[in-house]
Every structure is written in C-alpha cells, then in structure tokens.
Amino acid sequence: QVQLVESGGGLVQAGGSLRLSCAASGSIRSIDFMGWYRQAPGKQRELVATLSAVGTTNYAGSVKGRFTISRDNAKNTLYLQMNSLKPEDTAVYYCNAQGVLVGVFKLNNVWGQGTQVTVSS
C-alpha cells in the first residue's frame, strides 16, 4: 500500500516562508511525477507545481518565482519551498503522485491527506 504524508503547514504572516514536505511510503520502486495542489475554501483544487523524476518542473503562474518544488528520489520525498507568501496562498495543500511503480503495478492519482497553510495579512 502506498501512502503520502504531508507536513510543514502552519500559520505565517504575509511575506514569510514555509517549507512543505511529502513523504511517500510503501514498496515503491519509482515515481514518475509528484506534485502539489491546493484547495482554498469554496474553490476547486488547483495545481501549484509538479516535478518529474527527471527534473522537469511546472508551476502555476500565481506561484512562479516564489515557490520552488524539489524532490529527493532516494527518499521518495517531495518538498515545496514557499517564499513571499500572500494571504491568497491560504489553502489546504495536497501532495499527489502519478506513475507510482509498486512491484509490476503502476498507480496513479495517489493523494495525501493535506496540510493547512494560513497566511495572515
């Protein structure tokens, strides 16, 4: 069984920084893509950033230049460094994994439970 566990959320003032982590556990051989998504109250879940196993990144326009996604492939851990945070970044942040190779099976749409990020003005 594959599990994603996020950590690092919290309350921060506008202009501050937070670093989120997402640890993947289970009998994982490799993960093709990992990413961060967020969902604010009353809004749909949206992409924040994704990162492929070979290092290709994709960022939402609203976070480009402020957030940095990275991963430790050996530890199957994903990170999101968030700088210059704004009140509009307030949301529950979810970790996602695609193409998770477990044995001979490949899993998609694996989600973590989410971690709350609150940015005060």
Q: Chain-wide mean pLDDT for the chain?
A: 96
Instruction: Tell me the HSE value of 23 on the side-chain side, using a 13 A CA sphere.
Output: 6
Q: For 19-27, what is the mean pLDDT?
A: 96
pLDDT digits (tens, 9 = 90+) for 27-56: 999 999 999 999 999 999 999 999 999 999
Q: pLDDT at position 73, please?
A: 85
Q: pLDDT at position 1, please?
A: 86
Q: pLDDT at position 36, please?
A: 98
Q: pLDDT at position 119, please?
A: 98
Q: Is 87 exposed, middle or buried (0-12, 13-18, 19+ CB in 10 A)?
A: exposed
pLDDT digits (tens, 9 = 90+) for 62-105: 999 999 999 998 888 999 999 999 999 999 999 999 999 999 99
Q: pLDDT at position 74, please?
A: 86
Tokens of 74: 């050996």
